[in-house]
Chains A and B, each alone.
Chain A
Amino acid sequence: MSTPDGLHDIAIETHSDAGAYPATGNDLPILHEIRHALQRLAQSGEKTVIDLQAIPMAPGEEERILQLLGRGEVSATIDALGPSEVRETAFAGVWTVYHRNTNNEVVGKFIEITHCPDLLHSQPEDIATGMAQIRETLAELESKQSGDQA
Chain B
Amino acid sequence: MKDTRTVGEILSSQGISRRGFLKFCAATASMMAMPPSMVPAVAQALSNARRPSVIWLSFQECTGCTESLTRSHSPTLEGLLFDSISLDYHHTLQVAAGSAAEEAREHAMQENDGSYLVVVDGSIPLGNPGYSTIAGISNVDMLKETAAGAAAIVAVGTCAAFGGIPHANPNPTGAVAVSDIIKDKPIINVSGCPPIPIVITGVLAHYLTFGKVPELDDLGRPTAFFGQTIHDRCYRRPFYDKGLFAETFDDEGAQQGWCLYKLGCKGPVTYNACAVSKWNSGTSFPIQSGHGCFGCSEPDFWDSGGFYRPLSATTADVGTLAGVAALAGAAAGAAIGRMNRSHRARAQARHEKLTIDDIEES
Contact = CB atoms under 8 A, between A and B. Distances in A.
A107 B75 CA distance: 10
Contacts of A53: 30, 276-277, 282
B16 A58 contact: no
B16 A54 contact: no
B69 to A, nearest CB: 16
Interface in B1-54: 16-20, 22-24, 26-27, 30, 33, 35-37, 39
A94 B329 CA distance: 73
A140 interface: no
B281 A119 contact: no
Given A54-B30, A108-B26, A126-B17, A61 B36 contact: no
Contacts of A78: 19, 23
B286 to A, nearest CB: 13
A80 B76 contact: no
A84 interface: yes
A51 B24 CA distance: 14
B16 A49 contact: no
Interface residues of A, number: 38
Interface in A95-123: 99, 101-103, 105-108, 110, 118-119, 123
A107 B275 CA distance: 17
Contact of A123 (B18, B35, B77, B235): B18
Given A51-B35, A59-B288, A106-B282, A24 B24 contact: no
Interface string B252-276: 0001110000000000000000011
Nearest to A110: B36
Contacts of A32: none
B74 interface: yes
Given A24-B237, A81-B23, A119-B19, A51 B30 contact: yes
A86 to B, nearest CB: 11
Contacts of B23: 78, 80-81, 84, 99, 108, 119
A126 B18 CA distance: 6
A101 B238 contact: no
A145 to B, nearest CB: 29
B19 A24 contact: no
Contacts of A107: 27, 73-74, 76-77
A102 B75 CA distance: 8
Given A103-B76, A119-B23, A108 B30 contact: yes
B20 A24 contact: no
A105 B17 CA distance: 20
B234 interface: yes
A33 to B, nearest CB: 13
Interface stretch (A3-11, A14-22, A65-73): A14-22
A30 interface: no
B291 interface: no
A21 to B, nearest CB: 5
A75 B33 CA distance: 27
A47 to B, nearest CB: 9
Interface string A37-62: 00000000000011101111111010
A80 B235 CA distance: 34
Contact of A20 (B22, B27, B256): B256
B296 to A, nearest CB: 18
B309 interface: no
A49 B257 CA distance: 31
Contacts of B19: 78, 80, 119, 123, 126
Interface in B64-84: 73-77, 80
Given A20-B256, A24-B235, A55 B26 contact: no
A103 B75 CA distance: 8
B27 A123 contact: no
11 contacts: A20-B255, A20-B256, A22-B238, A51-B30, A80-B20, A81-B77, A99-B27, A101-B76, A110-B30, A118-B22, A119-B19
User: Top 6 nearest A-B pairs by Cβ distance?
Assistant: A49-B36, A123-B18, A58-B235, A80-B20, A101-B76, A125-B18
